[in-house]
Chains A and B, each alone.
Chain A
């Protein structure tokens, strides 16, 4: 395995994206809304398309705003439909996000001539290419340090998410475990919920171009689920999920460099491999978690039968 400066940037991009997603994913998991991440990351497509048509620039502020609005609308419509129409949450989520996705697809195809938004790019991302887009050059005494744009964008998003989780930790915790109590205590439950959804949307967009929506969905769900199996307290769960996410990014990139060679191929998708690495770590947690793992359960049952 040969490691260049480029590889470090790819890993840093991956870690930032993964950790930003995993942070928020913990609260989605506890509120049984894990698939909201999936829904939102599909549903931002029309927001992106409209913002792009308006400004003709990628990764602009307008684009973030468009995506955040689309994400918020998804959350809002899902809630409204399931509450007023007494429709199951999953079903109303499915209705809303497929409709948005179809709308986005229609817009993109309609404007295919002047829109450089390829649905494939949205799905897989192009993390391998992120280091080439340099936004910031620092001269460190003769050594030119080139910071890719994706790292800056994702770093900003990560800080935003960390800030949100730290500032509203107590409120978020109460809402996650006992929304009724939170409401009776006068907490702005709906506003917190909307803030969380908006951040999921913003994170999804920030990570799109760099890592693709598949990695966003994986990192929103899989590391928190693994952490949920390993520990029982929320602060510990957040910490473990962050570690799992970061490690998945490192492992995924290393895997993308090494595994194709083992099997006689030349290359593969890095973000796909990061998602697979997250799945692998989850599998380990599922098997070997000291408190909930299958192995521990099996040993426990065997002892009980004796």
Chain B
């Protein structure tokens, strides 16, 4: 078991998501920054779907009760293993009793902790990804325990990875959304020539942007939405749906982020600047 001494601001278990229930209104959920987690699971030679700990802004303090191997990645934080600083993207052996402790956030927003074989919490509807009302817990709490498999010996093919970090990126590649053609020339110009600030309203469901563009009076029938869908509200607000985003919506879907763009945005916090670039 992994003992959670302190849980951090918003820490959850995530895998590649809950597939097959969107027609019942269940969001896909899953890791926000898949670009990072794909690499972490590769380093540990895990299945792609192995569950990781997704941390947000402030990290937890954790005690390992069995030997295993871990790797960290995503946002850059000051992290220590038994008071010794450790680096992202380097496989670490941990022993029973070791304490992993997260400190100051340096860059990005969501650090990840991957463990050999993945975390072994119960699956609900085919996935371990936390989602309030589907999984018993919406987030990891203080003094809880998270299951993982003991592993004392492992010789990774790659012990570390030089990573082209996405943390410096601020340009989000987008495709045209289904209602792209309803945009006016002025709206288009503003969309692609202005920069946008991530608003305080940002979470696993959606990222809102502070700057608005011209609004609209388009009324449409509710239709499916996806992670990475950029919705335009009648007042001109831009809302980018993320992994826990609702499965249907009634606002025009003007842009669609690429998978990499979703990962880039997942590492942004309130006040960070982004721009859209049409593919």
* Interaction A to B: no
A interface residues, Cβ below 8 angstroms from B? none
B interface residues, Cβ below 8 angstroms from A? none
